[in-house]
Amino acid sequence: MTWCDRLVCANCAGPVSEGRCSVCRAHRARMQSDGPLAALSSTALLAFLLAVIAVAVVAQRMTTA
């Protein structure tokens, strides 16, 4: 099961992964071409980057202490 298997189409109320209508098929094609990180907002990506930097700083301080 992939992450897009749980999405439900607002147009036909079917799973997007089945591609029952043209809206489903278009959204499924866009998600497959963009990749999984395209669904994340810029705020989420920034928060993830800051978390990675914070972990790196803590790890650096622990190795030098």
- Retrieve residue 54's tokens: 């914070």
The pLDDT score that the predictor gives to residue 38 is 63
Contacts of 11 (CB under 8 A, 6+ apart): 21, 23, 24
Q: Full-prediction pTM beyond 0.75?
A: no
Instruction: For 15-37, write each residue's pLDDT tens digit.
Output: 888 888 998 888 888 777 766 66
Tell me the pLDDT of the chain averaged across its residues.
82
